[in-house]
Structure 1
Amino acid sequence: MPQPTSAPTLTTTRLTLTGHVATDLDDCAAMWSDPRVYTMIGGQPRSREDVWIRLLRSIGQWTLFGYGSWIARDTATGHLIGELGLIEARRAIMPSIDATPEVGWTLTGDSQGHGYASEALATILAWTDARIPRTTCIIDPANAPSIRLADRLGYRLRTTGTYRNAPTLIFDRVAAVAISAR
């Protein structure tokens, strides 16, 4: 079992990625109430209570698994860009993806389309590749921008699955470290 840990701080040219803290709640709640955010991720706004539980889950995953999600903020302004990272969701998805950590990304509506997700995820995946040989992600089939991003990051479509009675695309990625070790 991994030793309890907290999220390391990661930086990119424009972003600072840190672990979740209680004071992130207001920014995250605002993000999850924006239709530009939730339309392709469940289709419903998240209540403040649900966002609080997500925040606590993010903190707890670092303790249980030694990995988790980060809050991304613009380094110059401190504005929330989004939440990105790894999750152990244990989703009721068919086929199951439980054996592989899931990578996810959610950006504020104003942050979408500016290359922030690519920038943050390149840094996150470099950190991840040194620790985890394979990750997965799920994407709504209508979310063309996320499908293109997943492809650029090296994710390959495994299959179309079913999650919450709707089709979802399931992608896999083998860590660059694991590829070079072959």
Structure 2
Amino acid sequence: MRPHVLDDYDDSFAMWSNPEVIRFIGGQPFTREEVWARLLRYVGHWTLLGFGYWVVRDKTSGRFLGEVGFANFRRQIEPPLDGMPEVGWALTPAAHGRGYATEAVRAALRWADTQWPATDTACIIAPDNSASLRVAQKCGYLEWARGSYKGKPTIHLRRAAGPG
């Protein structure tokens, strides 16, 4: 895992424009412009906040598998995330069901536990996204609320600070 660079754009676009990937993340494939804005947001998080998203690549082949990391999107969401860093992940269909998401999220959480030893983290997941809900549960996240974001239902999960 490493922060994004310009050369990640095409791989990121291929993932975010795939209907299987975005089925529970807004439901509409992202345009090239939207993926460009996403890439800039990732880099901006690292520059302004000292944290962000990483690219996940296969250790052996170097193949792009997805993205995982932390953000402060300042979401207008109910209930609010109250300033907790929000973990998120998305992987290419070729990486689905192979344990990569759990491995990547756990790696991100090890990093977070050293950076924010006293800070809880959160995530939001669509209720029908059973695969991501399983990943969150394996990584120590527990449901603490139900709400909505942009008119769609969400499950809000929280992980207590410190090694889990």
TM category, shorter: over 0.9
CA distance in 2, matches of 1:122, 1:97: 21
Verify: 1:25 aligned to 2:9, yes or no. Answer: yes
> What residue number does 2:131 align with?
145
Over the matched positions of the two proteins, sequence identity in percent amounts to 46
Tell me which of 152, 175, 178 is aligned to 2:161.
175
CA distance in 1, matches of 2:48, 2:14: 28
- Give the aligned residue type for 1:164: K
Runs of 4+ deviating beyond 4 Å: none
The number of residue pairs the alignment matches comes to 162
Scaled by the length of structure 2, the TM-score of the pair is: 0.95
Contact 2:9 / 2:39 at 8 angstroms: preserved in 1?
yes
Instruction: Give the C-alpha shift of residue 31 in structure 1.
Output: 0.4
Scaled by the length of structure 1, the TM-score of the pair is: 0.86
> What residue number does 1:40 align with?
24
Contact 2:72 / 2:83 at 8 angstroms: preserved in 1?
no
- Give the aligned residue type for 2:133: I
Contact 2:42 / 2:52 at 8 angstroms: preserved in 1?
yes
Q: Output aligned runs, 1:64-79, within 5 Å.
A: 64-79=48-63
- Give the aligned residue type for 1:90: R
**Ranges in structure 2 where 5+ consecutive residues have no aligned partner:** none
Q: What is the SS of the residue equivalent to 1:113? A: coil
CA distance in 2, matches of 1:121, 1:153: 7
Q: Output aligned runs, 1:1-16, within 5 Å.
A: none
Contact 1:105 / 1:117 at 8 angstroms: preserved in 2?
yes
Q: What is the SS of the residue equivalent to 1:176? A: coil
**Ranges in structure 1 where 5+ consecutive residues have no aligned partner:** 1-16
Contact 2:126 / 2:155 at 8 angstroms: preserved in 1?
yes
- Give the aligned residue type for 2:141: Y
> What residue number does 1:56 align with?
40
- Give the aligned residue type for 2:129: N
CA RMSD in angstroms comes to: 1.1
Larger radius of gyration: 1
> What residue number does 2:109 align with?
125
> What residue number does 1:160 align with?
146
Residues 27-82 of structure 1 deviation map (CA, whole Å, 9 limit, x = unaligned): 00000111110001110100011101111110110111111100001121111100
Instruction: Give the C-alpha shift of residue 176 in structure 1.
Output: 2.3
CA distance in 2, matches of 1:22, 1:72: 15
